[in-house]
A and B are shown apart, each in its own frame.
Chain A
Amino acid sequence: MSEAAPAAHVNLDGVASTPMPPMVRYLDEDGELLVEDLPMSDAMALEGYRVMLRGRRFDERSVSLQRQGRMVTLAPGIGQEAATVGAAMAIDAKTDWFVPQYRELAGQLWHGYPLRLAFLWHVGHPIAFQVPGDLKMLPFQAAIAGQLPQAAGLAWGLKLKGDPGVVLAIFGDGGTSQGDFHEAANLAGVMKAPIIFLCQNNGWAISTSISQQTASETLAQKAVAYGFPGIQCDGNDLFAVYATVREAANRARRGEGPTLVEAITYRLGLHTTADDPTRYEPTEMHDLWVNRDPLRRMQLHLIARGIVDKAALEAIEDEVKDELRVAWEEAQKEPAPDPAYYFGQVHADHSPRLQRQLGRFAARDGEAKRRA
């Protein structure tokens, strides 16, 4: 406490309210521009739309394949494509890291993760977790907010190295209830780590609504406690997300530390294919957000500005359909993983005990294959 602080009586009025910057918006719900200056070129906007569409159609195809029993339980990102693609577009895949939870696939596709591997993820193939080549991306993360301490450490490590990279770490509204989120945010603030914490507030953590999740007015304001900016953006507005994350990335690159971006979006699909939202989601709420669908909004915008016409949009649909077909065909050609494969990834070398387990395992497996 400062010695100069004057005497004061206890006053607890109003302290729960934190003045926050206004939510960033560029487009209204029908794709009309609310501001003059767009943050990206028309060509880039169109490319962003294409990747959003790729994510959407991939999710739809995956859910369909899952219903046919050809895929494992999966978590579609339907309705959240602008949030994840806009954020991915705002960082540089050559230098910057993308750290996902598990509902960011559209953004990951922009960053360079191949569709073929995305399909393999949904059939339960371990190769999907490998993250190919030198792509700067961590594997999908099932532990809610479990990736955040790692992302904070990565950003801190890049800073200590003098590496120009920044880290984009994505999580959901439920993640803000986890200690890992708070511990990571606190460390990142102290170390001024170059990281963007992007919270996709999609309204639901399975069936838990945001009002059951937190008593905070906003999720963005949680950043204030950790000494860095928090800001909301319209998560269904590609331009708003892009502009916000780009500014946060610039800030990180300038050495000014982390930013928390709360992208307000909505999960139009299922939590996972094992979920039934009709048990908890009010129909009128769903309908409200169907009208705010980020894909529809981009389509209306692109047409209204004359960047594409309906025929061009249909052509993009056809191209995406072809890409998905090819990727799914390629994915199906991937050899099934050898059950012995997973022994190889535990340590750099095998302990004698593990080596012996592998020997027995391989012998049993070989025997089973001979019989089959």
Chain B
Amino acid sequence: MPEATVVEAVNQALTLEMARDERVVVFGEDVGRSGGVFRATDGLYGKYGAGRVIDTPLSEGVIAGASIGLALAGWVPVAEIQFLGFVHNGFNQVVDQLARVRYRSAGRFSAQVTIRAPYGGGVRAPELHSDGFEAHFAHAPGLKVVAPSTPYDIKGLLLASIRDPDPVLFLEPLRGYRQVKGEVPEGDYVVEIGKARIAREGTDVTLIAWSGAVQLALQAAEDAQAQGISVEVIDLRTLVPLDAATLAASVTKTGRAVVLQEAPLTAGFGAEVVATIQEEAFFSLQAPIRRVASPDVPYPVQMLEEQYLPNPERVLEAIIATTRE
């Protein structure tokens, strides 16, 4: 099977879907001739033209808001937000408007809209280019939040997201764009939204992560193995809807769990994962669930970035701690 990076997998999905469905339009800042700042939309402008691959003014509010109108006009919009940190300029349009189109029109309208954004840090980007803001959006009823980690899942879940009749916020691991390579089938396939993946099987501790942190989790699991601890790594792939069944099955087996998130600790999505595990598998737990997260300070500029983000040592510490309780 051919290999691709994460960003190539994004590009493959967009190229394929634009050919398959003439209603798909791709738009956002610099997505046209430039092919996007990460080249995710590279080549689309040449293939599908200025009528379907469209550069917009620098306005996340109108990118998100106009996607609703484009959907009402019969298009299938795929909007790119250049960095997730910028999406708050359009927070009202994403959370209060896009997420509620079906609900607030009592089913008359729906918004088959995908909003793509790079997610997470670790690439020495400027301020507000690296934040983990997924929890803000996971709390918005009506919005699906998809955050895969591997090129295979990126392609399959992006295709599923574009075809989903409801709005999806599709988070792409910024750190993995070029660093993470993997096998990606050339043709059309979808990965179901709302299904987690066992990224590594294990028996002693369940380690849960999503997006760019999955790579870190796999590394920590490898380190733990060297110390005789067998770690099962779950890649959530989708945050909303959350795959509680896979979480429950794994924790029922291992009896221990560590939740890893890149975002700051308090009220992060990891808290939702912890709450779900205790609801679904409390009597299997042999130890308190541990969280590994960034501290409750804003994402720092480059020189402090490495100390800020969770690293393999911190994850390993949490794994070891949970096995001693």
Contact = CB atoms under 8 A, between A and B. Distances in A.
A263 B98 CA distance: 29
B62 A184 contact: yes
B166 A347 contact: yes
B108 A183 contact: no
Interface string A115-158: 00000000000110111000000110001001011111111111
B142 A153 contact: no
A325 to B, nearest CB: 26
Interface string B99-111: 0001111111110
A149 B144 CA distance: 21
A153 B66 contact: yes
A345 to B, nearest CB: 4
B127 interface: no
Contact of B57 (A131, A143, A190): A190
Interface stretch (B12-20, B118-126, B237-245): B237-245
Given A346-B142, A352-B241, A150 B106 contact: no
Contacts of A157: 69-75
Interface stretch (B89-97, B169-177, B196-204): B89-97
B67 A153 contact: yes
A318 B267 CA distance: 59
B219 interface: no
A351 B75 contact: no
Nearest to A344: B107
A150 B166 contact: no
A42 B110 CA distance: 41
Interface residues of A, number: 40
A186 B62 contact: yes
B97 A129 contact: no
A160 B107 contact: no
A163 interface: yes
B165 interface: yes
Nearest to B62: A183
Contacts of B240: 351
A317 interface: no
Nearest to A135: B108
Nearest to B51: A160
B141 interface: yes
Contacts of B67: 153
B309 to A, nearest CB: 30
A301 to B, nearest CB: 37
A345 B107 contact: yes
Contact of B69 (A154, A342, A354): A154
B64 interface: yes
A152 B89 CA distance: 17
B102 A150 contact: no
A130 B104 CA distance: 8
Interface in A166-213: 179-180, 183-184, 186-187, 190
A161 interface: yes
B69 A150 contact: yes
B66 A150 contact: yes
A187 B62 contact: yes
Given A160-B51, A180-B61, A351 B66 contact: no
A1 interface: no
Interface string A263-307: 000000000000000000000000000000000000000000000
A348 interface: yes
B34 interface: no
Given A163-B73, A352-B245, A156 B66 contact: yes
Given A149-B69, A183-B59, A353 B106 contact: no
B107 A150 contact: no
Nearest to A131: B108
Given A129-B104, A131-B108, A187 B244 contact: no
A153 B70 contact: yes
Contacts of A129: 104-106, 108
A125 B260 CA distance: 43
A351 B143 CA distance: 12
A132 to B, nearest CB: 8
Given A130-B105, A160-B51, A345-B103, A150 B142 contact: no
B73 A139 contact: no
A188 to B, nearest CB: 9
B65 interface: yes
B244 A156 contact: no
B65 A153 contact: yes
Given A180-B92, A186-B59, A348-B166, A154 B51 contact: no
A291 to B, nearest CB: 39
Contacts of B69: 149-157
Interface of A: 126-127, 129-131, 138-139, 143, 146, 148-158, 160-161, 163, 179-180, 183-184, 186-187, 190, 342, 344-348, 351-354
6 contacts: A153-B73, A184-B66, A186-B59, A187-B56, A347-B144, A354-B241
CB-CB nearest 7 A-B residue pairs = A149-B65, A153-B69, A157-B73, A153-B66, A351-B241, A154-B69, A130-B106
Given A150-B68, A153-B67, 14 more contacts: A129-B108, A130-B107, A131-B109, A138-B105, A138-B109, A149-B64, A153-B62, A156-B66, A156-B70, A160-B70, A163-B73, A342-B103, A348-B110, A353-B241
